[in-house]
Homo-oligomer: A and B are copies of this chain.
Amino acid sequence: MYVLDTVPETKYYSFEALELDCGRTLSPVTIAYETYGRLNAARDNAILLLHALSGSAHAGFLSAEGERGWWYDFIGPARALDTDRYFVICSNVLGGCSGSTGPGSVDPSTGRPYALSFPVITVGDMVRAQKHLVDSLGIRTIKAVVGGSIGGLQALQWTVDYPHAVRSAVILAAANRLSAQGIAFNEVGRQAIMADPFWQEGDYYGGNAPRAGLALARMIGHITYLSEESMHEKFGRALKGVAGYRYEFSEDFEVESYLHHKGNKFVERFDANSYLYITKAMDYFDLPDLSNIKSKMLIISFSSDWLFPPAQSKALVRTLRRNRKDVTYCDVLSSRGHDAFLLEVAPLTELLSGFLDNVSGQR
């Protein structure tokens, strides 16, 4: 039996250069990653897991500091991504701030952090960087790419850009383009950061970071990750530890306190410029042509998700069906909004296990 207390080690893969969609070249590039389970002799049991906006390579198990991975409940023996059977890889996204090359990395040509001189990247660029990593591990065919939210966008991009390298894809709480409303929310988040006087046109490294702006962007984001229903269930109109209204501009309600807490926690671990770059990559994401996909697809939406609502997943499924792709779709009944892809462990475990079993048997 696999020993669960194995502490995953964050590893780094560096390569010379990456051609970007904007026409520029990034050089060198480092990708931080973790792996769980063992690559088999045939090298055909790899699952590439792709994180969402604020995630990192630390997806599973406990870190050396005892921190749970962002998909802890889904990774391990007999879990959705069964580490007795599969070799799970999760890397920090290009443009991120948890070990992979991003705007906070040092530009070798100046010896200083890139800041806003970092090129504007796309989901395609992120995936191209991941392909370098996967190649470096000697893996020619990935059993499944799996991701939620912007991780789902990356998973879909994989199936379009590398149809022969991806046997299946699980796309949770995503779509094949970002909606106008999604762009709008991203833009107000970016404006919150860029309006912070500490942002300094992005050139704040070594000084005060734009904490208030980043916290505000995160607060806005968190509203879109919950549903109206789950906010009502979690907080309703409950007041924060007082008998009545304060009649001042401090936190009156639990929901305000929750958002402030989430915002303030986020700035401890995230770089504001990475927030700008990753949200911009989301905005640019638009894959109308799905004709060359060869992977077996599992599309999952969540009934109360209004950031990537079921209607958008259904439109994706219709496009795939029109192109005669092998696609399974499930709308998971959940009150937990967009965050459901992190929280609905039981139904997702069932869906993923069954789907991955079928992929195993297929080729």
Q: Does A22 sit within 8 A of B, measured CB to CB?
A: yes
Complex interface bits, A167-179 against B, C-beta within 8 A gives 1, otherwise 0: 0000000000111
In whole angstroms, how far apart are the Cα atoms of A236 and B180 in the complex? 5
Q: Check if A195 sits within 8 Å of B194, measured CB to CB.
A: no
| Residues A166-217 near B (CB distance < 8 A) | 177-181, 183-185, 187-188, 190-192, 194-197, 212-213, 216
Task: With CB as the reference atom, state the residue of chain B lying closest to A216.
Answer: B191
Residues of B within 8 A of A190 (CB): 249
Q: Does A276 sit within 8 A of B, measured CB to CB?
A: yes
Q: Check if A216 sits within 8 Å of B188, measured CB to CB.
A: yes
Q: Check if B195 sits within 8 Å of A228, measured CB to CB.
A: no
In whole angstroms, how far apart are the Cα atoms of A341 and B192 in the complex? 29
Task: With CB as the reference atom, state the residue of chain B lying closest to A212.
Answer: B195
Contacts A119-B247, A256-B183 hold; do A188 and B223 have CB atoms under 8 A apart? yes
Residues of B within 8 A of A232 (CB): 179-181
In whole angstroms, how far apart are the Cα atoms of A357 and B253 in the complex? 42
Complex interface bits, A268-291 against B, C-beta within 8 A gives 1, otherwise 0: 000000001000100110100000
For this chain, the copies found in one complex come to: 2
Name the distance in Å between A98's Cβ and chain B's nearest Cβ: 22
Complex interface bits, A222-258 against B, C-beta within 8 A gives 1, otherwise 0: 0100101001101111000000010111001101100
Which of A187, A194, A232 has the most C-beta atoms of chain B within 10 angstroms of its own C-beta?
Answer: A187
Contacts A191-B219, A192-B192, A306-B306 hold; do A181 and B283 have CB atoms under 8 A apart? no
Name the distance in Å between A283's Cβ and chain B's nearest Cβ: 7
Name the distance in Å between A162's Cβ and chain B's nearest Cβ: 22
Residues of B within 8 A of A213 (CB): 195
Name the distance in Å between A327's Cβ and chain B's nearest Cβ: 23
User: Hey, which bits of chain A sit against chain B, CB under 8 A?
Assistant: 22-23, 116, 119-120, 177-181, 183-185, 187-188, 190-192, 194-197, 212-213, 216, 219-220, 223, 226, 228, 231-232, 234-237, 245, 247-249, 252-253, 255-256, 259, 276, 280, 283-284, 286, 306, 309
17 contacting pairs across A/B (C-beta < 8 A): A22-B245, A22-B247, A116-B249, A120-B247, A178-B237, A180-B234, A180-B235, A180-B255, A181-B232, A184-B255, A184-B256, A185-B223, A191-B219, A195-B216, A197-B197, A228-B306, A253-B283
